């Protein structure tokens, strides 16, 4: 009788457990700007992402949300040496996998695709600034791996590694002073991750 009661109690807890969670992560890192005609260069990254995750099974789910990425760094092209500042807004669509190492520690991974849009894009040369040098939307793929620890009731905290690369390229605008196409590849970040179970 005790075994049956325990089984029913565990089953009830699993049924009452919400399938939805909110996941936030942020990190720092760097990526490579790959140009068709101009020299490649590196940019530093500050990024953040807010996802809503729905678990359609015990371990697998699907997530989407919004991300923001700020890229900064130095480089040079046919116009001259510059300091580059670019801001993106990103919309990902991800397959998620989560599971437990122990009662207090779990892992969270995701893989999928994104589309992103350049919000601002400024090249600051020695004597001038080229605004919105590249614009538009592009697409790419991303992967993330995180380890989370119990922090509070229905809240977990941990560390994450994220990586993404563009598939498609941005085209330079008429006001940029150059004619080129580019994409961001091997953009890797390390940071923190928070998970709120609803």
pLDDT at res. 174: 80
pLDDT tens for each residue of 32-89:
999 999 999 999 999 999 999 999 998 999 999 999 999 999 999 999 999 999 999 9
Q: What percent of the chain has pLDDT over 90?
A: 77
- Per the CB < 8 A criterion, the answer to whether 87 and 120 are in contact is yes
pLDDT at res. 175: 74
Q: Dmax of the chain from CA atoms? A: 83
User: Smallest Cα–Cα separation from 178: which of 77, 76, 86, 81?
Assistant: 77
pLDDT (mean) for 128-141: 93
Which of 59-63, 99-103, 161-165, 185-189 shows the lowest per-residue confidence on average (mean pLDDT)? 99-103
Q: Which domains does the chain have, with CATH numbers?
A: 19-197 (2.40.160.20)
DSSP string, 140-194: EEEEEEEEEEEEETTEEEEEEEEEEEESS-EEE-TTSSS--EEEEEEEEEEEEEE
pLDDT at res. 166: 97
pLDDT tens for each residue of 143-181:
999 999 998 888 999 999 999 999 999 999 887 778 899
* pTM to 2 decimal places: 0.86
User: Smallest Cα–Cα separation from 86: which of 98, 96, 71?
Assistant: 71
């Amino acid at each position: 009788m005790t075994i049956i009661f325990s089984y029913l109690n565990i089953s009830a807890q699993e049924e009452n457990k919400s399938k939805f969670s909110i996941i936030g992560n942020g990190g720092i890192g760097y990526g490579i700007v790959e140009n068709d005609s101009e020299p490649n260069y590196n940019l530093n990254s500050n990024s953040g992402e807010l996802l809503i995750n729905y678990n359609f099974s015990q371990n697998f789910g699907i997530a989407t949300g919004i991300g923001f990425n700020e890229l900064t760094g130095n480089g040079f092209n046919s116009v001259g040496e510059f300091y580059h500042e670019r801001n993106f807004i990103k919309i990902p669509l991800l397959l998620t996998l989560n599971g437990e190492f122990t009662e207090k520690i779990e892992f969270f991974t995701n893989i999928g695709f994104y589309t992103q849009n350049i919000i601002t894009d400024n090249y600051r040369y020695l004597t001038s600034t080229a605004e919105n040098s590249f614009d538009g939307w592009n697409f790419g793929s991303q992967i993330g791996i995180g380890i989370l620890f119990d922090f509070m009731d229905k809240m977990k905290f941990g560390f994450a590694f994220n990586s993404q690369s563009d598939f498609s390229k941005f085209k330079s605008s008429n006001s940029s002073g150059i004619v080129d196409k580019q994409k961001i590849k091997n953009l890797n970040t390390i940071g923190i991750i928070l998970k709120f179970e609803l």
